[in-house]
């Protein structure tokens, strides 16, 4: 039953939800020459899952320029740049005040 007067009891749904494994893809070296094109080509197959696993070919090596940047990383970068700029401005202002004295 509920733990308090305001809590509602959980009503069990009919049957348990069916959980399916996320799809796993094993592209060939040729298919994976351009990873982003490959991902776009299979997007419809994993869209309903919201996630998938891609096992790249054994011989594939990610190029050094192949970076994944999340929106959160961009936000942190912007905040760090703003903070550094603010600190520089404060330091310059302090130096000006010291010179005036």
List pLDDT tens digits, range 41-76: 999 998 888 899 999 999 998 877 656 666 666 777
| Alpha-carbon distance values, 22 to 31, 48, 50 (Å) | 20, 10, 8
Query: What's the angle, vertex CA 58, arms to CA 55 and CA 61, rounded to 5?
Result: 90
- Provide the pLDDT for residue 50: 86
- Provide the pLDDT for residue 78: 81
Query: Is it the case that residue 30 has pLDDT exceeding 90?
Result: yes
Query: Is it the case that residue 13 has pLDDT exceeding 80?
Result: no
Tell me, yes or no, if the pTM score tops 0.85.
Answer: no
Please say whether the beta carbons of 23 and 49 come within 8 A.
yes
- Provide the pLDDT for residue 33: 92
| Number of Cβ atoms within 10 Å of the Cβ of 30 | 8
């Amino acid at each position: 039953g509920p733990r308090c007067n305001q809590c509602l009891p959980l009503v069990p749904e009919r049957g348990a939800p069916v959980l399916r494994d996320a799809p796993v893809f094993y592209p060939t070296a040729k298919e994976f020459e351009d990873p982003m094109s490959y991902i776009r080509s299979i997007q419809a197959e994993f869209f309903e899952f919201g996630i998938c696993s891609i096992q790249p070919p054994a011989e594939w090596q990610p190029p050094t320029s192949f970076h994944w940047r999340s929106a959160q990383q961009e936000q942190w970068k912007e905040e760090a740049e703003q903070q550094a700029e603010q600190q520089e401005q404060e330091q310059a202002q302090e130096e000006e005040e010291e010179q005036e004295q």
